[in-house]
Chain A
Amino acid sequence: MSKKLISEGSEWTFDLLNEYDHEIGKIAEEYQLDTYPNQIEVISSEQMLDAYSSVGMPVGYHHWSYGKKFVSNADSYQQGRSALAYEIVINSDPCIAYLMEENNMTMQALVIAHACYGHNSFFKGNYLFKTWTDASSIIDYLVFAKNYVSKCEERHGVEAVESLLDSCHALMNYGVDRYKRPSPISAEEERRRQHEREEYMQSQVNELWKTIPEKIDKDEEVQHANFPSEPQENLLYFIEKNAPLLEPWQREIVRIVRKIAQYFYPQRQTQVMNEGWATFWHYTLLNTLYDRGQVSDGFIIEFLKSHTSVVYQPDFDSQYFSGINPYALGFNMMTDIRRICENPTDEDRHWFPDIAGSDWLKTLHFAMQNFKDESFVQQFLSPKLIRDFKFFQVVDDAKDREIVIGNIHDEMGYLGIREALAQQYNLSMNEPNIQVFNVDVNGDRSLTLHHIQHDDRPLGDSTQEVLRHLHCLWQFDVHMETRNNGKLVKRYSCPLESTED
């Protein structure tokens, strides 16, 4: 108890925020947390509701679906059905974190530790974020997007823009490159290029659809060549570049939606890690403050109360159960890695020969930097945690009349559980595998997609509706074929084909 307390009482002030941030920042540096500069914004609960419904974008174009989110959030908040999140943090440089004014000092400190040092360092360090997002330009890009969309609304009418955005949103999950890395460019560059792009793209598209027959040299070969030559997984990209009838501004809007989808793609793949990392660090940082006598007993008890409710994992048969809590799994895995490094058991030495007994801070940073949820679970989920969580695997096969319990938390099951849980976080397993397969360039210009079926899982009931949206973009016939090992299982079409039901 050498140092004196930073504050007493629960009221926060701007001075205290500064001081807490300073102290927490000092400790974070000792733990080698490398962060973007922080921009902490204090907002009211109404503003938090606003921030909520724009899915975490500080500026966004207008769309009714955000209004819908706002309406339902506001309603459930006002009726007391749900509380607001304590914070929202944005992957940008400087890293913007929202603090709600209603929070007391302890909560503000928790949020600063969690968002400004936890999430922030994750955004800066994790390979997915480094590869796919450009924190320094995202805000500028969003501003560009917002202005562009509203300019289009003025020029082409709100309705036209809205229905286009509807169609793009329906395909948003298929607007990401999973493997190819885009080159980052700044927003000014974006603006400058945008005009050039408009003209160039239109000319390219016209080239593809030219109706004047060319001199046929090696006719047979050309006739049967597929377009695209290889299947494409990024539907929105394909639309943007190849849809025959879209106008330049429509292509640009497709591009905007695609870019935003790409920006959020890493977040969707690192939920467990990201939250786990941030939770681990708010826990560690604030406890360090306490150990050094800078915060009071009351502070730490209040903090622990919030912390435990954040990392609570209800059992599958509890009424509060809604899947695995990413905070709980992430936090426990991070803590477990530290345990394996510091106090490894024989089991750990057997399972994790590389990290057992190593420097925990280094190992943890390595884990944070080089994995995503799927591979993180695959690599680091220990038998001890599987036992702690009492994980078990349920196999549900529609061909079977009963559902079957697969692996459970025993010696035989550890590997299977780990494998299955990792797959659960694999986005490309959770989302149907859809690819652009062919365009009938010389015929009716129809677009054919393939759904590569996995584990016999069919498409959901809104597929036809999504196809309708795709048809709005492509503007010629659109088909989707579900294929299982190359065999046609089901065919969707828009407009509906009369020969099929």
Chain B
Amino acid sequence: MTYIVDRRVNGKNKSAVNRQRFLQRYKKHIKKAVSESISQRSITDIEKGENISIPKKDISEPVIHHGQGGRRSIVHPGNKEFVRGDRIPRQSGGGGSGGEGEASNTGEGEDAFVFQITQDEFLEFLFDDLELPNLVKRQLAGAESFKQVHGGIITEGSPSRINIGRSMRSATARRMALGSASKKRLRQLENELKEMLAKEFVSQDQTRIKELRLEIDKLQRKIKRIPFIDTFDLRYNLKIKQPQPVAKAVMFCIMDVSGSMTQITKDIAKRFFILLYMFLKRNYKKIDVVFIRHHTVAKEVEEEEFFYSRETGGTIVSSALKLMNEIIAERYSPEEWNIYTAQASDGDNWNDDSPVCSKMLTENILPVSQYYAYLEITPRQHQALWHEYTKVQSAHPEEFAMQQLVSAADIFPVFRELFQRTPA
């Protein structure tokens, strides 16, 4: 007796729960591995999975087994030259015999358990317990945008919303309901009349024929009077307005490209921008990125130019803020867009300009922004801009954050710091 069953149609992810449990249990280890890998690999290929390696001893399942020592005998196959009583010096590293370890899953062997996680899981662990500041606030406050969605069929509405299919269907139903009794009767009478007329003339009952004709005529007219379509039949599509949480974000990348910014500094800034971009992408469906670079004048540029073109000259930060303000007014209405800004600079600014910057931030930019992060990439002492910004921060601790970066290794820690989930 044999049954053959095709199980391929059954799901294949029977182990998904167990796998998830495993990842959950070793979250700490995996997060550590992810954080380490992020500082090592080029940040542009952040969008792929990662090999995670966990020390084997940390995930071993203990069982009672024999340890090294004592007396044991093992039978091996493939003897070549040994004869009884041969003595072989012990190999260093314990009582291994003949180059073989019996309990290979304990002690020796590979000491790392390596496995792959997917890109999604990688990002999940990477951004775990980070969050976008002020995300909730905007969503609650800003039910400013609506979406029309189909809300079913109703019997009243504007002519432009008539649902023809549904209207015709109910018209047909109505005609059937009103007319079918008459039609049935009509068929009966017509049959009767036909039978009568088929008979010879002498045996025809002329009065009955007349009656029949009269009644048939009446019925026909009655059926005809049923209107093909009636206002009663009309159906309309209902559109309802659904408040739409703002799900669009624009990210402004502002970078100083004056002579004092080296390629290394720019590279650090770039990495930070990309990290921020990845993070925003996890939270918003649609993200626009605006690149603004500045020295004494600011300019909106393409990505390539943003990161690689070289400029020289002094620095006026406020020029960039002014341009940003214009772009917001022109293209990104704060009602519709969540606005995030990351500004990278080496801290140089024309001294008289710094107060202007802080004024613009406080008055124009921060009120419409979700979050503004300022990064100062310098090992040197802070200058006027930092001090001005410190004041801004103490006035707007929610929306404004600033951090100093010295080397590439600081990128992720600083990023974490900026977006650390604050306990509610």
A458 touching B69, Cβ below 8 Å: yes
CB-defined contacts of A458 to chain B, threshold 8 Å: 66-70
CB-defined contacts of B113 to chain A, threshold 8 Å: 68, 72
CB-defined contacts of B71 to chain A, threshold 8 Å: 395-399, 455-457
A54 touching B60, Cβ below 8 Å: no
Among the stretches A237-245, A248-256, A310-318, the one at the interface with B is A310-318
| CB contact list, B375-415 vs A, under 8 A | none
B243 on interface, CB distance cutoff 8 Å? no
B325 on interface, CB distance cutoff 8 Å? no
A456 touching B70, Cβ below 8 Å: yes
B82 touching A392, Cβ below 8 Å: yes
B114 on interface, CB distance cutoff 8 Å? yes
B24 on interface, CB distance cutoff 8 Å? yes
B86 touching A391, Cβ below 8 Å: no
| A457-B68 Cα distance, complex, nearest whole Å | 7
Instruction: Contacts A67-B19, A392-B82, A461-B107 given; indicate if A405 touches B59 (C-beta within 8 A).
Output: no
Give the distance to chain B from A345, nearest Cβ to Cβ, in Å: 22
B75 on interface, CB distance cutoff 8 Å? yes
Residue from the set B65, B75, B78 with the largest chain A CB neighbour count within 10 Å: B75
A403 touching B75, Cβ below 8 Å: no
B3 touching A64, Cβ below 8 Å: no
| A98-B10 Cα distance, complex, nearest whole Å | 13
| CB contact list, A377-421 vs B, under 8 A | 389-399, 401-410, 412-413, 417, 420-421
| A158-B24 Cα distance, complex, nearest whole Å | 11
Instruction: Contacts A25-B2, A63-B21 given; indicate if A390 touches B79 (C-beta within 8 A).
Output: yes
| CB contact list, B144-201 vs A, under 8 A | none
CB-defined contacts of B61 to chain A, threshold 8 Å: 65, 166, 169-170
| A54-B15 Cα distance, complex, nearest whole Å | 8
Among the stretches A33-41, A226-234, A277-285, A333-341, the one at the interface with B is A33-41
A113 on interface, CB distance cutoff 8 Å? no
Give the distance to chain A from B91, nearest Cβ to Cβ, in Å: 9
Among the stretches B95-103, B226-234, B254-262, B278-286, the one at the interface with A is B95-103
Instruction: Contacts A41-B7, A394-B73 given; indicate if A174 touches B64 (C-beta within 8 A).
Output: yes
A70 touching B70, Cβ below 8 Å: no
| A459-B63 Cα distance, complex, nearest whole Å | 10
Give the distance to chain B from A99, nearest Cβ to Cβ, in Å: 9
B38 on interface, CB distance cutoff 8 Å? no
Give the distance to chain A from B96, nearest Cβ to Cβ, in Å: 9
CB-defined contacts of B107 to chain A, threshold 8 Å: 460-461
| CB contact list, B1-44 vs A, under 8 A | 1-8, 10, 12-15, 17-25
Query: Contacting A21 at CB < 8 Å: which of B2, B13, B17, B21?
Result: B2
Give the distance to chain A from B281, nearest Cβ to Cβ, in Å: 27
A402 touching B90, Cβ below 8 Å: yes
Give the distance to chain B from A107, nearest Cβ to Cβ, in Å: 16
Query: Contacting A64 at CB < 8 Å: which of B1, B22, B87?
Result: B22
Give the distance to chain A from B89, nearest Cβ to Cβ, in Å: 6
Instruction: Contacts A44-B8, A94-B3, A431-B65 given; indicate if A68 touches B59 (C-beta within 8 A).
Output: yes
Instruction: Contacts A64-B18, A321-B100 given; indicate if A39 touches B84 (C-beta within 8 A).
Output: no
B116 on interface, CB distance cutoff 8 Å? yes
CB-defined contacts of B70 to chain A, threshold 8 Å: 397-398, 453, 455-458
B80 on interface, CB distance cutoff 8 Å? yes
Query: Contacting A43 at CB < 8 Å: which of B8, B69, B83, B115?
Result: B8
Q: How many residues of A contact B (CB 8 A)?
A: 101
A407 touching B84, Cβ below 8 Å: yes
B106 on interface, CB distance cutoff 8 Å? yes
Give the distance to chain B from A421, nearest Cβ to Cβ, in Å: 5
**Nearest neighbor of A456 in chain B, beta-carbon distance:** B70
B331 on interface, CB distance cutoff 8 Å? no
CB-defined contacts of B99 to chain A, threshold 8 Å: 316-317, 321
CB-defined contacts of A456 to chain B, threshold 8 Å: 69-71
| A37-B5 Cα distance, complex, nearest whole Å | 13
| A412-B88 Cα distance, complex, nearest whole Å | 21
| A74-B14 Cα distance, complex, nearest whole Å | 13
| A421-B248 Cα distance, complex, nearest whole Å | 71
B77 on interface, CB distance cutoff 8 Å? yes
| A75-B15 Cα distance, complex, nearest whole Å | 14
A42 on interface, CB distance cutoff 8 Å? yes
CB-defined contacts of B140 to chain A, threshold 8 Å: none
CB-defined contacts of A65 to chain B, threshold 8 Å: 22, 61
Give the distance to chain B from A373, nearest Cβ to Cβ, in Å: 13
A413-457 toward B: CB 8 Å interface, digit per residue (1/0)? 100010011011000001110100000000000000000010111
CB-defined contacts of B104 to chain A, threshold 8 Å: 322
B64 touching A402, Cβ below 8 Å: no
A67 touching B23, Cβ below 8 Å: yes
A460 touching B4, Cβ below 8 Å: no
Instruction: Contacts A40-B4, A67-B20, A67-B22 given; indicate if A390 touches B90 (C-beta within 8 A).
Output: no
A116 on interface, CB distance cutoff 8 Å? yes
CB-defined contacts of B6 to chain A, threshold 8 Å: 14, 41-42
B115 touching A75, Cβ below 8 Å: yes
B64 touching A406, Cβ below 8 Å: no
23 contacts between A and B (CB under 8 A): A18-B2, A25-B2, A37-B3, A41-B5, A65-B22, A172-B63, A321-B100, A392-B79, A401-B89, A403-B97, A405-B82, A406-B84, A432-B65, A453-B70, A455-B72, A456-B71, A457-B67, A457-B69, A458-B68, A459-B66, A462-B60, A462-B62, A466-B63
Q: Which residues of B does A touch, CB under 8 Å?
A: 1-8, 10, 12-15, 17-25, 59-80, 82-90, 95, 97-100, 102-104, 106-107, 113-116
Identify 16 new A-B residue pairs, CB closer than 8 A, beyond the known A324-B77, A432-B64. A40-B5, A41-B7, A46-B12, A50-B12, A50-B13, A54-B18, A64-B25, A72-B113, A78-B116, A116-B2, A170-B61, A321-B99, A401-B90, A402-B87, A456-B69, A458-B66
Closest 8 CB pairs of A and B: A315-B78, A67-B22, A457-B70, A67-B18, A462-B62, A465-B62, A456-B70, A37-B1
